[in-house]
């Protein structure tokens, strides 16, 4: 908003012309979005629009889930997974126009409970193992300057390294994995599709699990993602599931991320919360 004030004002004007009464509340630090969302609830707000990245949207979700307040997203941040999933694009003006056509729909969300007993709700995905390790290694200064480049740098820093493994139970399967994705969306990282059968309109996760402690094996898996053949590859399991149980193997810590932010350590449980939020979804979304 500060970098492109004219574009932001145009987006706000579009929303106001369609009947949205906009009150802007900027965030300055982690946790602010959850606090501001709860304050909005106390003030009787019916719709909360988030102009930010997936982490900021996640914070707002954790302030309004289960209340009936409507959530809408405008593009911001690094990956914009939710906005890309919904077809809102990356520009504020076009996204604002799309939100004016959107209708609130009840959407299931995910809940993760990690080793310390803390619970975190999420709208897009929970990742365990490799991608959470990448999130943990991301340099926040590089992320602010270069966006997605920081994630690629963190990923290549793990090349050749041994990956922590964990045991996972989901969809009738029991697997030893080094990466698991419990996803409500098809989009991953803004550029890729991993959980190809996932949908915000479904009442479950698409769970993707990958085996192998060698990080070099993931070059093959990545090729499978690019060729849309990951689910057919040896060492990969894809199942629909409403519940996932995760336990570490040995003493090595295994991390969990939700919507691109670290959420804690294994052991963990992940489950579906039906009709967790009312989300503004454009009619084009399928």
Question: To 10 degrees, what angle do helices 92-101 and 5-17 make?
Answer: 10
Q: What is the mean pLDDT of the chain?
A: 91
Mean pLDDT confidence for 119-137: 94
User: Is residue 161 over pLDDT 90?
Assistant: no
| Predicted local distance difference test score (pLDDT) of residue 122 | 97
**1 confidence band (pLDDT: 50, 70, 90):** low
Mean pLDDT confidence for 95-117: 95
Indicate whether 130 and 267 sit together in one domain: yes
Count of domains forming the chain: 2
Residue 284 lies in a domain: no
| Predicted local distance difference test score (pLDDT) of residue 50 | 93
| Predicted local distance difference test score (pLDDT) of residue 80 | 86
In CATH, what number is assigned to the domain containing residue 235? 2.60.200.40
| Predicted local distance difference test score (pLDDT) of residue 4 | 60
Question: Which range, of 24-28, 97-101, 150-154, 274-278, averages the lowest pLDDT?
Answer: 150-154
**3 confidence band (pLDDT: 50, 70, 90):** low
Mean pLDDT confidence for 184-202: 93
Indicate whether 117 and 256 sit together in one domain: yes
Residues 43-97: tens digit of each pLDDT: 999 999 999 889 999 999 999 999 999 999 998 877 789 999 999 988 889 999 9
Q: What is the CA radius of gyration of the chain?
A: 19
**21 confidence band (pLDDT: 50, 70, 90):** confident
Indicate whether 149 and 266 sit together in one domain: yes
Edge-first strand order for the sheet with 205-210 is 236-241, 205-210, 179-183, 125-129, 255-258, 261-265
Residues 34-53: tens digit of each pLDDT: 999 999 999 999 999 999 88
Indicate whether 52 and 97 sit together in one domain: yes
SS3 of 68-126: the string is CCEEEEEECCCCCHHHHHCCCCCCHHHHHHHHHHCEEEEEEEEEEECCCCCEEEECCEE
| Predicted local distance difference test score (pLDDT) of residue 132 | 92
Question: Which range, of 70-79, 103-112, 120-129, 266-275, averages the lowest pLDDT?
Answer: 70-79
Indicate whether 146 and 259 sit together in one domain: yes
User: Is residue 156 over pLDDT 90?
Assistant: no
| Predicted local distance difference test score (pLDDT) of residue 40 | 92
Domain that holds residue 178: 111-274
**137 confidence band (pLDDT: 50, 70, 90):** confident
Q: CA quadruple 76, 274, 130, 119: dihedral positive or negative?
A: positive
Residue 281 lies in a domain: no
Residues 221-274: tens digit of each pLDDT: 999 999 999 999 999 999 999 999 999 998 899 999 999 899 999 999 999 999
Strand 243-248 with 70-75, pairing: unpaired
Indicate whether 81 and 124 sit together in one domain: no
Mean pLDDT confidence for 203-216: 96
Phi-psi region of 148 (alpha: psi -120 to 50; beta: other; left: phi over 0): alpha
Indicate whether 98 and 125 sit together in one domain: no
């Amino acid at each position: 908003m500060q970098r492109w004030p004219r574009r932001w004002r145009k987006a706000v004007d579009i929303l106001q012309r369609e009947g949205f009464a906009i009150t802007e509340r900027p965030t300055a630090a982690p946790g602010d979005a959850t606090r501001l969302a709860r304050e909005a609830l106390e003030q009787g707000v019916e719709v909360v629009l988030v102009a930010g990245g997936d982490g900021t949207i996640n914070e707002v979700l954790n302030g309004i889930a289960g209340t009936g307040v409507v959530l809408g997203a405008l593009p911001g941040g690094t990956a914009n997974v939710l906005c890309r999933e919904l077809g809102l694009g990356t520009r504020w003006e076009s996204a604002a126009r799309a939100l004016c056509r959107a209708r609130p729909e009840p959407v299931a969300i995910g809940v993760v409970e990690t080793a310390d007993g803390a619970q975190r709700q999420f709208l897009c995905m929970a990742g365990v193992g490799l991608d959470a390790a990448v999130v943990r290694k991301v340099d926040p200064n590089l992320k602010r300057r270069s966006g997605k480049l920081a994630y690629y740098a963190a990923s290549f820093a793990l090349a050749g390294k041994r990956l922590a493994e964990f045991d996972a139970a989901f969809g009738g399967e029991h697997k030893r994995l080094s990466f698991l994705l419990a996803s409500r969306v098809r989009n991953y990282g803004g550029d890729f599709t991993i959980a190809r059968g996932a949908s915000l309109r479904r009442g479950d996760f698409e769970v993707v699990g990958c085996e192998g402690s060698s990080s070099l094996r993931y070059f093959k898996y990545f090729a499978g993602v690019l060729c849309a053949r990951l689910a057919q590859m040896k060492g990969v399991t894809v199942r629909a599931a409403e519940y996932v149980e995760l336990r570490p193997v040995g003493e090595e810590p295994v991390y969990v991320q939700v919507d691109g932010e670290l959420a804690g350590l294994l052991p963990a449980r992940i489950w579906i919360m039906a009709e967790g939020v009312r989300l503004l979804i454009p009619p084009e979304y399928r």
